[in-house]
Amino acid sequence: MRYVVGYTADERGHDAVCLAVALARRQDARLDLVLVTPEHSPYSGIYLPGKPFESLLTDQLQEWMEQGLALVPDDVPARGVIVRAESNAEGLIRAAEDSEASLIVIGASSRGLTTLFSIGNVARSLLHASPVPVALAPRSYRRTDPVTRMTCAVGNRAGADDVVSVAVASAQRRGLPLRLVSLVTLDAGQSDSEGVEDEANRRLAEAASALAAGGRVSVETAHGSSIEKAIEALAWDEGEVLLVGSSRLAQHMRIFLGSTANKILRTLTIPMIVVPRTYATPGTTTGPGTLTHEADA
């Protein structure tokens, strides 16, 4: 298994590497630290420590890549990859497709001053076009210990069961406890919030019961006057990650960050993984009651 890490020689790149390490340690995944250069650049190739470059790199690119690889602990296999592309997002997606990576990891925009997450141009482009899940590291994320728990935020709209399926399989593969959190009562335009909440909790409870033998699954409802308040009211583990699905506006196998996910980001203090719409990992079957195979997210 391989993860693509959007590496830049700054704090944002450092955040991405740390999150990738924490995720990789739960699955023995290999990391590709991808540094994207302009399309017209003559420099591209793969750099492995202690081995010659496959193509000529400038001293600056070499220095940046060595700095990035130095952030990766010895127990996590990693290599540096230089990709030429018209944009960072295009380069990261191409690198993920070329290496059949199951995840792209990036850091939050460095422009965020009041929140830990700020969606910059690279993240925004990835969240519109990536065919694989995208993991977002909050600003100043430095944890590299293995992830300790996975939470999946679930609504009542189309596609909710798909993201639950991915979350269940991902948690099972990593040996992690899974928490299914209902945000249904916070969805805009609901006239019967209690009825919707009861239905959502019933569905999630059935999923948890059906999967109890395969892992630790719990169900919880987030309450609050707003999505931000509900997220603040939830207890979060330091080593936790949040899994959310794409907006129903997303195209097939693509990501579109909806209004609910955007509101979650305003308050969230842990990493978030966004799953493409109708995404099904290799070897899985959609539907939370039928997942017994491995997931790559």
pLDDT at 286: 40
HSE of 277, CA atoms in CB hemisphere, 13 A: 18
Q: What is the DSSP string of 90-110?
A: HHHHHHHHHHT-SEEEEEPPT
Distance CA 274, CA 158 (A): 16
| Per-residue buried b or exposed e for 220-249, using 16+ beta carbons within 10 Å of the residue's own CB | ebbebeebbebbeebebeebbbbbbbbbee
Distance CA 142, CA 184 (A): 32
pLDDT at 283: 47
Give, in degrees to the nearest 5, the angle at Cα 117 between 295 and 280: 20
- Spell out the per-residue pLDDT of the chain, length 297, in tens: 899 999 999 999 999 999 999 999 988 899 999 999 877 665 555 666 665 554 445 677 888 999 999 999 999 999 999 888 989 999 999 999 999 999 999 998 656 555 677 777 888 888 888 889 999 999 899 999 999 999 988 765 555 667 787 888 888 888 889 998 886 544 445 555 555 566 656 666 666 665 554 557 888 887 777 788 888 888 999 999 999 887 554 454 456 566 777 788 888 899 999 888 666 654 444 433 333 223 345
Burial class (CB in 10 A: 0-12, 13-18, 19+), 156: middle
What pTM value is reported for the model? 0.81
**Bridge partner list, 45:** 82
pLDDT at 221: 81
SS3 281: coil
